[in-house]
């Protein structure tokens, strides 16, 4: 998990919640709670609940600076959206699972729950910064406040949540937000190279040749862009929520103004110094 993403997003209504991972204040939860399968992403198998062999006594990664060359690329693209430090420092008030082993299994079970809630908060916070969706800001703030309150619940309250139901409610708002933001771009989109303004939600674009494509205002929610050639593509004002960019080539692509894009999506892709990014995200070190 990247230790670059340590500061909270600026915004209103989020209280003390930080939506960027702060590994220094986490008890290595992703290094223990999650299961690894030996593959191109992980050098070895690891069962859920078993500490990674690279986890040190101080809960830091012993090969953090060498994760990719050591075969742990998967770790570099995982993002807990700050759930790790929320559970470690707020939910359990700084009591770690090694000192209190009786809390371990419950603490590990909370990670995917709180991570999903924080992911929703990330998207809601970004939606509130999108001016074309101003008519929805009241509803977005209300949903953000509700999800934030849920994320600060007790362990028992969190484990009892129907997270899928809450995701469904937030998703409906984010869909409406996307339509408002892209509306100005999707008009008059006919006759253009690529998929400008098109709804390509969940599309199979694995390995697609989209070099130089005009994808402004495209709905690429959940699209499979694994290994796609997006060199020089124009992705401004595109909805990229959940798009799979693993090994996609974004060299020279323009993602300024794209929305609902996360750091983990970028970390899974390829790019270069010419790739233009939204200001809230950072250029991955391996580009």
| 231: CATH | 2.160.20
pLDDT of residue 278: 94
Residues 141 and 30 in one domain: yes
Residues 47 and 132 in one domain: yes
Report the pLDDT averaged over residues 239-251: 98
Residues 162 and 240 in one domain: no
Contacts of 217 (CB under 8 A, 6+ apart): 182, 184, 185, 186, 189, 196, 197, 236, 237, 238
Residues 133 and 275 in one domain: no
pLDDT of residue 150: 97
Report the pLDDT averaged over residues 124-149: 97
Report the percent of the chain where pLDDT is more than 90.
87
How many distinct structural domains can be found in the chain?
2
3-state secondary structure of 122: helix
Residues 198 and 164 in one domain: no
The CA-based dihedral angle spanning residues 18, 23, 26, 29, taken in that order and rounded to the nearest 10 degrees? 110
* Domain enclosing residue 110, as ranges: 23-182
Residue 165 included in any domain: yes
Residue 229 included in any domain: yes
Task: Kindly indicate the confidence band of residue 186, based on its pLDDT and cuts at 50, 70 and 90.
Answer: low
Residue 101 included in any domain: yes
Residues 55 and 153 in one domain: yes
Report the pLDDT averaged over residues 96-106: 96
Residue where a domain stops, chosen among 125, 149, 182: 182
pLDDT at 31 over 90: yes
Provide long-range contacts, Cβ within 8 A and 24+ apart, for 48-56: 48/108, 49/104, 49/105, 49/108, 52/28, 55/28, 55/31
Residue 8 included in any domain: no
Task: Kindly indicate the confidence band of residue 8, based on its pLDDT and cuts at 50, 70 and 90.
Answer: very low
Residue 3 included in any domain: no
Residues 214 and 170 in one domain: no
Task: Kindly indicate the confidence band of residue 197, based on its pLDDT and cuts at 50, 70 and 90.
Answer: low
Residue 208 included in any domain: yes
Rounded CA separation 96/218 (Å)? 44
Residue where a domain stops, chosen among 126, 153, 182: 182
């Amino acid at each position: 998990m990247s230790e670059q993403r340590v500061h909270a997003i600026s915004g209103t209504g989020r209280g003390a919640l930080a939506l960027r991972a702060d590994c220094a204040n986490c008890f290595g939860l992703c290094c223990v709670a999650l299961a690894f399968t030996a593959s191109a992403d992980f050098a070895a198998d690891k069962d859920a609940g078993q500490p990674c062999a690279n986890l040190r006594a101080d809960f830091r990664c012993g090969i953090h600076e060498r994760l990719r060359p050591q075969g742990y690329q998967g770790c570099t693209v995982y993002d807990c959206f700050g759930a790790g430090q929320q559970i470690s420092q707020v939910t359990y008030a700084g009591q770690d699972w090694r000192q209190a082993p009786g809390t371990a299994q419950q603490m590990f079970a909370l990670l995917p729950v709180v991570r999903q809630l924080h992911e929703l908060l990330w998207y809601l916070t970004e939606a509130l910064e999108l001016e074309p969706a101003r008519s929805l800001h009241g509803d977005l703030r209300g949903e953000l406040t509700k999800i934030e309150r849920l994320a600060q619940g007790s362990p028992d309250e969190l484990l009892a949540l129907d997270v899928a139901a809450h995701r469904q409610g937030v998703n409906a708002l984010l869909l409406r937000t996307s339509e408002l933001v892209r509306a100005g771009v999707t008009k008059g989109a006919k006759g253009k190279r690529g998929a400008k303004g098109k709804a390509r939600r969940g599309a199979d674009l694995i390995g697609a040749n989209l070099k130089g494509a005009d994808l402004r205002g495209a709905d690429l929610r959940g699209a499979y862009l694994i290994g796609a050639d997006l060199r020089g593509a124009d992705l401004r004002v595109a909805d990229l929520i959940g798009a799979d960019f693993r090994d996609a080539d974004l060299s020279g692509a323009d993602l300024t103004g794209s929305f609902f894009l996360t750091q983990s999506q970028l970390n899974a892709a390829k790019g270069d110094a010419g790739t233009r990014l939204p200001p809230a995200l950072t250029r991955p070190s391996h580009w």
